[in-house]
Amino acid sequence: MIWWRASGYEIRHGCIVPMVNATLTTYYPWEDWSKAPKRLRTSELTIAPLAKLLRDLDVWAAGLGGVQFELRQVDKLIDWVNANGLLGIALHRVEYVRLAARWRTLPAVGFMGHLTAPMHKWFRYGPEKWHTGSSFAATDSEYQSTFPLRINQSLDGKVVAEDVLVESSRGGLAEANSYPAIWAGQVSMHLSDVWGPFFPSLPREELDSYDYPEPTSEAFWRLYGEPLDEFLREANSLVQAVEQLAQEHRNPPADRLIGTSPAVHACQVLSELAGHTRPHLGMEKTDLKLRVNWSAPSLLAALAMTTINELSASDGNFIRVCEKCRSPFITGDARQLYCSKDCREVMVKRKQRAKHKLEDKK
């Protein structure tokens, strides 16, 4: 899986977007993650920096609505995005996108020359990547009987008027994958509702008819941004699922009921977030070693799949959340409360100071 990140991001109009003159580069998210040791007595999960970020922002204590961050908090958020890129939420939520119909010039056909027809450009995810294609738009029967095609190259690229098309071909649409519960089972939705919020620089009236670039292309990422509340909501859903598993590990319910435990729900959330992530077995050309590569529709899915792999490889160990920094980690010691010696020493000193203050009051 190849992902994109810009050399600099900023928050503009409530969205995290690349800076105007930022350089866009690609990287392989699993490259650093796969270098981590397979088993350690104490091992931070890959999502630990993201969990620490959410704790520092303290978003969920304040609530998302109108939350205000201090400058240092914004800097931490931007630092994480600079290092990893955006989560790719818009790509995570859909598996098919059909753009608004436009007039496209077809190759010359015999004596008729070049013809212009109403066409839909479309994008579909899977397997492994986004694919691009085009198809004829369904036109109104009255129009179709007179001018199914036009010999007019000046129309090329222009949006087809709605009265030319049947209702189902009007505007852009997106088909949701099985993940977003927020859509309540809706399959097809207007493109302006699904992708519109993620392209803040586009005029509102063009969100449904805009000629969007191919997903994951450089042109796409230059236009793409993620609303701050959407970014934090999806990041929190991932981190919160791990925290629920850690809570179950630390305080298992006495009357466990299969299918009703919060941990079961957490497993479902992680599985849904990792949807459409696939392993691919390959062989190194130099030493012929077998290697597992992964493809995912979004960085969010990649993080979820990595978390699943890390948790499933921790058999016999314990999932914990550091009581100081809220970083999730795996440990072989059931009594361990902190992810590192530094966090433990800080908390010991805090408890000592609190004890001294209490004694002074007495």
Domain ranges of the chain: 3-88+228-316, 90-223
For residue 362, the model assigns a pLDDT of 60
DSSP string, 312-328: HTTTTSEEEE-TTT--E
For residue 137, the model assigns a pLDDT of 87
For residue 123, the model assigns a pLDDT of 94
Do residues 180 and 93 lie in contact, with contact meaning Cβ atoms separated by under 8 Å? yes
Do residues 37 and 313 lie in contact, with contact meaning Cβ atoms separated by under 8 Å? no
Q: E strands of the chain, at which residues?
A: 3-6, 9-12, 15-18, 24-27, 42-44, 94-98, 102-105, 116-125, 130-136, 173-176, 188-190, 226-227, 278-283, 290-295, 318-321, 328-331
For residue 139, the model assigns a pLDDT of 79
For residue 39, the model assigns a pLDDT of 46
HEC profile of 223-288: HCCEEHHHHHHHHHHHHHHHHHHHHHHHCCCCCCCCCCCHHHHHHHHHHHHCCCCEEEEEECCCCC
State pLDDT tens for residues 106-135: 776 554 556 788 889 999 998 788 999 998
State pLDDT tens for residues 124-169: 998 788 999 998 888 776 555 445 556 666 777 888 888 888 888 8
* Cα distance between residue 134 and residue 298, in whole Å: 24
Identify the DSSP state of 65.
T
Residues of the chain with pLDDT under 70: 32-42, 59-72, 108-114, 141-153, 178-186, 251-260, 314-316, 355-356, 358-362
For residue 183, the model assigns a pLDDT of 47
50-81: burial string, b at 16+ Cβ within 10 Å, e else: bbbbbbbbebeeeeeeebebeeebeeebbebb
Tokens of 281: 């077995």
Among the listed residues 48, 12, 9, 16, the one whose alpha carbon sits nearest the alpha carbon of residue 306: 48
Count of CB atoms situated within 10 Å of the CB of 8: 14
* Cα distance between residue 312 and residue 271, in whole Å: 12
* Cα distance between residue 156 and residue 106, in whole Å: 10
For residue 184, the model assigns a pLDDT of 47
